[in-house]
Chain A
Amino acid sequence: MTDTLQTLVQAFDRMAATYELMARRLGGQIEQLEAERTALRAHLADLSQQQITLLRSNQDLARLTADLSGQVTSLTHRAEEIRRQDQLKSELLATVSHELRTPLTSIKGALSVLLAEDPPSPEVRSEFLGIAHQNVERVMRLIGNFLNLARIEAGEIGVVPRPLDLVEVLRGVLARMRGPAAERRVSLELEAPAGPLPLTGDPEMLESVFSNLLDNAVKFSPEGALVTVRVEATPQAVTVHVRDRGPGIPPEEAPRVFERFFRGTPATNRRVPGTGLGLHISKVIVEAHGGRIGVESRIGEGSTFTVTLPRGGPAPAP
C-alpha cells in the first residue's frame, strides 16, 4: 500500500513538474506574442500615418495636376488668340493694300491720261478729273477709317464735342457722295426739317459716321435706285435714318454688321469693295456721343440704318 501511494505521489510530482514546465513555456510564448502585438500595433500606427501622408501628397498632386491642366488650357487659348490676331493682321494688311491700290489705280490712270494729252478735250478733262477727284475722296475716307481704328484700338476715340448744325454736316456728306452715286445712277435724297439742327458733337467724327453709312447705301444700291436720308428731331435727340434699296442683310448677320472686320455675304458675294471697318467705327463714334446706332433690313427690300444722337452731346466723363 505504501508502495502504491509512493508511486502515485511520484507520478503526481512528475505531472506537476511537467505542468509547471508547460505553464512556464506558455507564459514565455504569451509574453512573446504580447511583444509582437505591441510591435504590430506600432507598425500599424506607422502605416496609417504613412497612409495619411500619402493621401495628403496625393491630394497635393491632384491639385497640382488640375492647376497645370488649367494653365495648359489657358496657354492653348492664348496661343489660339495670338494665331487668330496674326491672321487678322495679315488679312487686314492684304485688305488695306487692295483697298488703297484700287482708288490709286484710278487716280494714277486718270492723271496720266490727262498728262499724255496736251491739251485734253473738255469732255476728257472733266471725266478724268472727276474720276481722280472721287477716288481721292475714297482714299481719304479709307485713311480716316484706319486712323479712327488706330485711335479706337489705343482706347482713345478722341471725340471733341462742340456746337454744330447736323443738317450742314449731312449736306456736306451728301455733296461729297454725289459723284460716286451718279456713277451708279443712284439718287440721294435728304428729308430734313427746314433750318439748322443744332446739337453738341464732334463734326469730323459725325461726318465720318454718315459718310460711311452713305457710302454703304450707295455701294449696295442697285443701279438707278434711291437712297434716302431722313432726319427727325425732338428737343432732346436727333434721329437720322439712312435707307437703301439694296439686297438687304440676312437676319442672322444683322447683329454682326457692327463687328470689326465683319463683312456680310451680300458684300462678299457681290464683291462690293470694303474693309469691314466703316460700321464698326461708326458705332464706336456714335456711342462715344452717347447715342445709338442700329439697322433694320429685309432681304430683297433694302436696309435702314438709324442713328440717334442726344442733342446735348456726350454725357460728361465721370
Chain B
Amino acid sequence: MPVVLLAEDEPDIVRLVTYILRRDGFLVRTATTGQEAVEAARQGEVDLILLDIMLPELNGYGVCAALREDPLTRGIPIVVMSARAQAKEVARGLAAGAVSYITKPFEPAQLGEQIRAALAAAAAGRAQGGAGEDLHR
C-alpha cells in the first residue's frame, strides 16, 4: 500500500483525511508541524506528501524548499492541500514544487484518486529517468 505523509495541524482535518485515505487503501503517517514533516520525509518510506501550507514552525513553502534541497527527499511528490485558494497562492504552491494543488474544502470522494494520479505521474517521471526531479520544474 502506498504511504502518504499527511502534514496538517488542524486536528479535525487530520482525523478526517486519515480516515478517508485509510478507507481508500493508503497507509497514513502524520506530522503536525512543517519541521516534523521534513524529518518524517527524511526517515524514508514516504511515497507522497499531502501538505498543508499554514503549518507552524515551518510553513508549507518552507517544507517544499527543504525537501527539494535534500537528495533523499527531492523525488517525493508533494500535493498541497490548503485553504489558501487565491490564484496567486495556488501558483506559488506549484512554483514551490507541488505536483498538484487541492483547495479546501476538498472533495472527499476524489481525494484518493487525486493522490493516485500524482503517484502515477511521479512514477512516470522516474521511468523516464528524471528521478522525479523534473516534476518539480
Contact = CB atoms under 8 A, between A and B. Distances in A.
Contacts of A239: none
B109 A94 contact: no
B5 to A, nearest CB: 18
B16 A109 contact: yes
SS of A interface (majority) = helix
Contacts of A104: 104-105
B11 A109 contact: no
Interface string B70-99: 000000000000011110000000000000
Contacts, number: 75
Given A97-B86, A271-B55, A131 B9 contact: no
Interface residues of A, number: 27
A106 interface: yes
A269 B19 CA distance: 29
B20 A113 contact: yes
A110 interface: yes
Interface string B16-35: 11011001000000000000
A113 B17 CA distance: 10
B56 A269 contact: yes
A105 interface: yes
Interface residues of B, number: 27
A109 B20 contact: yes
B69 interface: no
A184 interface: yes
Contact of B104 (A94, A105, A116, A184): A105
Contacts of A134: 12
A54 to B, nearest CB: 59
Contact of A131 (B12, B84, B107): B12
B13 A105 contact: yes
B123 interface: no
A160 to B, nearest CB: 34
Nearest to A270: B56
A135 interface: yes
Scoring A101, A104, A269 by chain B CB atoms within 10 A of each residue's CB, the highest score goes to A101
A131 B54 contact: no
A109 B108 contact: yes
B59 to A, nearest CB: 8
Interface string A67-93: 000000000000000000000000000
B16 A113 contact: yes
Contacts of A135: 12
A127 interface: yes
Contacts of B83: 97-98, 101-102, 105
Name, among B12, B13, B104, B108, the residue most crowded by chain A CB atoms within 10 Å (CB to CB): B12
Interface of A: 94, 97-98, 101-102, 104-110, 112-113, 116, 124, 127-128, 131, 134-135, 183-184, 269-271, 273
Interface of B: 9-13, 15-17, 19-20, 23, 54-57, 59, 83-86, 103-109
Given A108-B106, A113-B23, A270-B56, 6 more contacts: A108-B108, A109-B108, A110-B12, A112-B107, A113-B16, A271-B57
